[in-house]
Chain A
Amino acid sequence: GAGVSQTPSNKVTEKGKYVELRCDPISGHTALYWYRQSLGQGPEFLIYFQGTGAADDSGLPNDRFFAVRPEGSVSTLKIQRTERGDSAVYLCASSFQPSSYEQYFGPGTRLTVT
């Protein structure tokens, strides 16, 4: 079956611009996660959704970052006034339930802020 998909696969933007990153989880998965991975580091948690609501957004680095999941399926991560330090691979994952041990990751969106 289809896995987690993310679009775009690559995004280059100028400092100060706004970007949106999209995630399509596996059908039927209620839990959705966003992580950010910088070069040479492991993924770092940003936010997780259970259904439509953000159950834990404690990993968002500041108020320039925001995420939504209005219908409990597709999620969008939004970054305002991008900075060069935001450059990273943004990974989305989903699991059947939050307590499910296996999270299935999408291929990521590589964001480059110039």
Chain B
Amino acid sequence: RKEVEQDPGPFNVPEGATVAFNCTYSNSASQSFFWYRQDCRKEPKLLMSVYSSGNEDGRFTAQLNRASQYISLLIRDSKLSDSATYLCVVNRGSTLGRLYFGRGTQLTVWP
């Protein structure tokens, strides 16, 4: 079983839409959680960390449910520039530094 599972999509939404991505992780020892963004043929970049209490950064809201081992990302008021692949990422405390990536969810926002 993969460490991090994500629906690959693609998600195609109009500008202004709200879209949500989910992922699950298999190892209950996972301690840190993130969403990375990857544009086509570019490197991944940290979008936001995910905290147990949930956190928001502008139009982006991340949630973590440790009991269900489930992470979500909500994007409100989608912009054309949000088109990218969103990678769900976890880090186990026992393997310091090593990141486990999901396969990514592809989002296309159309005008």
Residues of A with Cβ closer than 8 Å to B? 31, 33, 35, 40-45, 48, 50, 55-56, 59, 91, 95, 98-99, 101-103, 105-108
* Residue B34 lies at the interface, judged by CB distance under 8 Å to chain A: yes
Question: Are A106 and B43 neighbours in the complex by a CB distance under 8 Å?
Answer: yes
Question: Are B4 and A42 neighbours in the complex by a CB distance under 8 Å?
Answer: yes
Q: How far is the CB of A62 from chain B (nearest CB, A)?
A: 19
Q: How far is the CB of B25 from chain A (nearest CB, A)?
A: 12
How far apart sit A79 and B103, CA to CA, in the bound complex (Å)?
24
A-B contact count (CB 8 A): 59
Q: Which of A31, A50, A101, A105 contacts B32 (CB 8 A)?
A: A101
Q: How far is the CB of A63 from chain B (nearest CB, A)?
A: 20
Give the B interface residue count (CB, 8 A): 24
Q: How far is the CB of B98 from chain A (nearest CB, A)?
A: 5
Q: Which of B91, B97, B101 contacts A44 (CB 8 A)?
A: B101
Question: Are A40 and B8 neighbours in the complex by a CB distance under 8 Å?
Answer: yes
Q: A55-B97, A98-B97, A101-B91 known; 5 other A-B pairs, CB under 8 Å? A: A31-B97, A33-B97, A43-B101, A45-B99, A101-B34
> Taking A91-B43, A107-B42 as contacts, is the C-beta distance between A101 and B98 under 8 angstroms?
no
Q: Which of A35, A40, A50, A56 contacts B95 (CB 8 A)?
A: A56
Question: Are A101 and B95 neighbours in the complex by a CB distance under 8 Å?
Answer: no
* Residue B45 lies at the interface, judged by CB distance under 8 Å to chain A: yes
> Taking A42-B87, A99-B96 as contacts, is the C-beta distance between A105 and B101 under 8 angstroms?
no
Question: Are A41 and B103 neighbours in the complex by a CB distance under 8 Å?
Answer: yes
On chain A, the residues within 8 Å of B34 by CB distance are: 101
How far apart sit A102 and B101, CA to CA, in the bound complex (Å)?
14
How far apart sit A78 and B89, CA to CA, in the bound complex (Å)?
26
